[in-house]
Structure 1
Amino acid sequence: MIAAHHRFDDAETDGRRAKGERRRRAIIDATLRVVARDGVGAVSHRNIAREAEVPPASIAYYFAGIDDLLVATLLESCETLISEMNRLRERVQEKREWPRAVAELLAGMVREHRERTIGEYELYLLASRRPALRSAARRWIEVAASYITDGQGGDQPVTRALFAAIDGLLIQALIADEPPTADDFEPTLRFLMQPVEYLRGSGAVD
């Protein structure tokens, strides 16, 4: 009987934890939507609570303040990008396939997930004004760079140049009248990604 009671308590605790995680995730997702639609200036306890359909007190319960909420939202966005990069690594078998794979990823970011990408860049740029966000803003670049160099470090200036170029491509795509397709992105990426093999010391991308 005591064992059964403990199992019930554990299940109840797990249920509360799962519910809490769902609510926290809903708040983060709502924050990104508000940032994408109305800008960072619109992020407040009341606006996020309304968007997430939770009590305003929930925001303060899960996050110490607005900066804490923005950091969590940016980190969640970074983790989403990292997950997408992991899926690419599993799918891409040959080095020559990488430019096309990345082109499809970028096309999805500016077409199917345009609002999310706008929100991420709003937060990314906010890091220039709010030091608390800077570590989160750099995370995806650091992780993606380690993929490119196979964790060997590589030539940091070349790596920075590649990611700066990709950021530029995305920003240009977001302000274009017609968002680029994967076919539009691919030739540029095939050129930009030639130094990837230079980083590994084995020649250019075929």
Structure 2
Amino acid sequence: MGWEGGPAVMPKSVFVPKVEVRGPDRRRKLIEATVRLLIRDGIAGISHRAVSDEAGLPISATTYYFSTLDALLSATFRALFEAFILDPATRPHVAKGSLDDEIENVVNGFFGTVPERAESYRVLFELQLVASRRSDWRGHSSIYWEGLLQGVEAQLGVSSNTARAVIALFDGYIVAFLSTGFIPTREQFRSLVTIIVSNDSGAKTENYESRPR
């Protein structure tokens, strides 16, 4: 299947997920600075000096709260994943009611966030690849995946296997967008989501409104 979408145009401002950080204000600023650096330069651009400069704090503050870069990245990793879980709740939704409405919400979620948030998604995938080599980071990744899975299950009223298939479609197209700059048409994407969901017997349109919320 060839690409029928068009090249995306990146906006002037890059979306930065809002991270929620518990603890002292300086710690929050350091993690927020690390997120910005990750988006701009990737993991290779992270150092105590770079983070302290980005946060406008002395390097002693960075080393006080995070004695190693590993500790800083681990804390940022968790905060960033939690931010991505919470973010879909802020997206505009059409009124709940039919399964078609909820599929349209998934379509809107893709086309309303992926092009403008490409840099943030790049960081998300980069951190997941690091977690694939770091067993001590997989717990952070699991938080993200479990939250995302539960959200899709609840939104579409489908089984966990069907929800995983929808997420796989979403992520596959994000990776393709990041690496090629092209995305499918809305009609293509909607059609594929519909095919996946229609194979879940519990998500048939006629039964959807009677499902528990």
1:144 aligns with 2:148: yes
Q: After superposition, what is the alpha-carbon deviation per residue over 1:163-201, rounded to whole angstroms, capped at 9, x for unaligned?
A: 222221211122233556766643333333435x54xx2
Aligned residues: 184
Match of 1:30 in 2: 33
Q: How much does 1:46 deviate?
A: 1.0
Work out which of the residue numbers 37, 46, 52 in structure 2 matches 1:43. Answer: 46
CA radius of gyration, larger in: 1
Contact 1:70 1:133 in 2 (8 A): no
Larger RCO: 1 or 2 (CA < 8 Å, sep 6+): 2
Q: Share of identical aligned residues, percent? A: 27
Question: Aligned pair in 2 of structure 1 residues 124, 175: CA closer, same or farther (>3 Å)?
Answer: same
> Is there any run of 5+ residues in structure 1 with no aligned partner, and where?
1-17
Q: What pairs up with 1:1-206 in 2 under 5 angstroms?
A: 20-21=24-25, 23-87=26-90, 92-94=95-97, 95-150=99-154, 155-178=159-182, 185-195=189-199, 197-198=200-201, 201-203=202-204
Please give the alpha-carbon distance, in whole angstroms, between the structure 2 residues aligned to 1:75 and 1:162.
23
Please give the alpha-carbon distance, in whole angstroms, between the structure 1 residues aligned to 2:23 and 2:139.
28
Q: How much does 1:90 deviate?
A: 7.4
What is the TM-score normalised by the length of structure 1?
Answer: 0.71
Contact 1:81 1:140 in 2 (8 A): yes
| Superposed CA RMSD | 3.3
> Is there any run of 5+ residues in structure 2 with no aligned partner, and where?
1-21, 209-213
Please give the alpha-carbon distance, in whole angstroms, between the structure 2 residues aligned to 1:192 and 1:186.
10
What is the TM-score normalised by the length of structure 2?
Answer: 0.69
Instruction: Specify the SS of the correspondent of 1:129.
Output: coil
